[in-house]
Every structure is written in C-alpha cells, then in structure tokens.
C-alpha cells in the first residue's frame, strides 16, 4: 500500500529526513514518533505530495508521489497539524466543499459528507458554524475532511495536539474506529498515543528511522529489575555468577530508602528463582524483584542514548 525507499529531504545544508525506507501494508495502524524536529512532519508532507523528496521515492497504491501525484493523492486523506478550516462556514457546507475538491462525484457528495459526519460524530453539528465549535470538535471536522472521499490511507499529523484529556480520549476512540477499514499513519511526539491506538511504531531521531517494529516486539524484554538494600561492593560480579549476561546499575531506589536498583539481562530466562536462592544464601535483603516494565518511553530513551553515543542525535 505504502512504499518509501531512501526518502531524503534537505533544506539547504540541513537534512530534515535522511534516507528513510519503510513499507506499510493495507490495514495497518502505524505510529510515527519522535521529538519535535525529528523529521516526522517533513516525511508526512512528502508522503502526501505536499513536498517533493530531494532524493528517493515514495508511492501509495503503486502511484509515485512525484510522477503520479494526483492519482496517488486520490488514495490519501490528510490531517495536517493545523487543520485547514474556514471558521465562517457551517460544518456541512465546509465538508461539501472538501468533497468537491477531493473529486467526489457531484451526485455522491451529499451522501459522502453524511458518511464522514456520521463516522466522526458530527451529524448533530451539521448546521453549526465551525467558529462556534470546541477545539475537539474542530479536530473532528479536520478528520472528517480527510475521510470524506473514502481514502485507503489516512495520514494524521499530531491529531490530539492541544486537546484536553477528555477530547484526547474521544479522538483516540475515533481513530480506533476508523482503523477498522483504513490504513492509518499517526504522527506524534506523545508516546502514550502510539501505545493506545497503534500496532506498529516507527521511531525517528535526527531525521533517521532508528526503529521499525510491532509494539509487542519493541516492548518485549528479558530484563529483570532487582532492588537490594545496602548492596555489597561486589554485587555486579556476584550477579553475573547467577547467570546475568549484563548488569546495569540504575542507582538508588526512590521507593525504598537505602536500596539500589539493578537491571539484569538473561535471555535464557529462569533468572528470578536463581536470584532469590542466591540472595538468601548471601543474606541480601531484597526490596523488590520482577520483570522490567517496558514502555515506549523506555525504548525511546535507550535509542536516544545509543544514537547520542554514536554522534547521530
């Protein structure tokens, strides 16, 4: 459905997107994440035909975004970070205009607008001027204009930016509903957003794609977190005797005075029972022990640290 091959975009001497390659199949919900300035928005603008790549290729449904831009854009719905709304227009009137601009047949425009409003919960706001809507409902109008032509691919750039918690939850539920029939690429710097609605994550740092995998794979871990009260000086060497392949000192445990936390890696598993027996033999007092609670924030920090050391970020 979507193919990106070594896409690069430069602004003078500055490289905003650097050799990104990725394929996205029909029906996937993919989170594109990274801090501000990571290159997310530039990549999405190239993917929607708003910007041309300096090098590389991008295609949607087999149509190149440069050579066959109009045909490719027929398959795409796009919500930019700032939705292009006309506040003086009524919701139905605005969406009817968008349907015409998107190439919907005139005889089908009314039905297309009604379907888009129904999908986004806007039917009871059809005759209301956009300027009178809350920010959450204006965001719904932005999504409605992106789906009014029933696209195969929906590209959403920071869809919950500036919304309150209730509005955020409402937009997330809407995205989940739309995902039942549409391929969705969701760009955000809010990591919890990806965990809430996406199956797969693409992580960008400094214009480069540094991770691309299923969330279940990215969040999988073989690490055990151990908190020991008043640990001996030789504890790291001792933990390796138990079978830990690596030992990382995480510093003082904020939840237990006098305890220190360690992250242990043991790909072969079975480490916790051995640690309990070993601690009992050594007379250690354990404050806590268990599998690492891995989140996208954890993954992102690890990637940032790794690429900072390599001089990438």
pLDDT tens-place string over residues 166-195: 888 988 998 888 888 899 999 988 888 888
Residue range(s) in the chain whose domain bears CATH number 3.40.50.300: 2-218
Look at 23-32, 154-163, 207-216 and tell me which has the smallest mean pLDDT.
154-163
pTM above 0.85, yes or no: no
pLDDT of res. 269: 67
Q: What is the phi/psi pair of residue 59, to 5°?
A: -145, 150
223-293, CATH topology level = Alpha-Beta Plaits (3.30.70)
- In the predicted structure, residue 2 carries a pLDDT above the cut 80: yes
Sign of CA dihedral 72, 77, 81, 82: positive
Rounded to whole angstroms, the Cα distance separating 116 from 92 reads: 10
Residue range(s) in the chain whose domain bears CATH number 3.30.70.260: 223-293
Banded model confidence at residue 302, pLDDT cuts 50, 70, 90? confident
Rounded to whole angstroms, the Cα distance separating 190 from 76 reads: 23
CATH numeric code, 2-218: 3.40.50.300
């Amino acid at each position: 459905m979507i193919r990106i091959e070594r896409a690069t975009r430069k602004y003078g001497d500055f490289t905003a997107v650097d050799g990104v390659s990725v394929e996205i199949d029909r029906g996937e919900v993919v989170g594109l994440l990274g801090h501000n300035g990571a290159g997310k928005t530039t990549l999405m603008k190239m993917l929607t035909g708003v910007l041309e790549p300096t090098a590389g290729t991008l295609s949607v449904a087999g149509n190149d975004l440069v050579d066959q831009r109009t045909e490719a854009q027929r398959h795409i719905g796009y919500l930019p970070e700032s939705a292009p709304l006309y506040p003086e227009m009524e919701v139905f009137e605005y969406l009817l205009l968008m349907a015409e601009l998107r190439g919907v047949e005139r005889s089908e425009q009314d039905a297309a607008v009604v379907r888009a409003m129904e999908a986004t919960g806007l039917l009871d706001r059809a005759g209301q001027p956009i300027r009178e809507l809350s920010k959450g409902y204006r965001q719904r109008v932005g999504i409605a204009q992106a789906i009014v032509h029933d696209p195969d691919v929906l590209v959403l750039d920071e869809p919950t930016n500036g919304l309150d918690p209730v509005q955020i939850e409402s937009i997330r539920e809407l995205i989940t509903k739309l995902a039942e029939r549409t391929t969705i690429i969701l760009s955000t710097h809010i990591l919890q957003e990806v965990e809430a609605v996406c199956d797969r994550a693409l992580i960008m740092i400094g214009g480069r794609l540094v991770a691309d995998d299923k969330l279940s794979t990215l969040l999988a871990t073989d690490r055990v977190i151990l908190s020991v009260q008043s640990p001996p000086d030789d504890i790291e060497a001792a933990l390796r005797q138990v079978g830990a392949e690596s030992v990382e000192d995480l510093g003082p445990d904020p939840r237990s005075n006098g305890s220190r936390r360690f992250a242990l890696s043991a790909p072969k598993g079975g480490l916790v029972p051995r640690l309990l027996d070993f601690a009992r033999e050594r007379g250690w007092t354990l404050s806590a022990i268990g599998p690492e609670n891995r989140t996208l924030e954890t993954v992102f920090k690890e990637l940032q640290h790794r690429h900072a050391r390599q001089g990438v970020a």
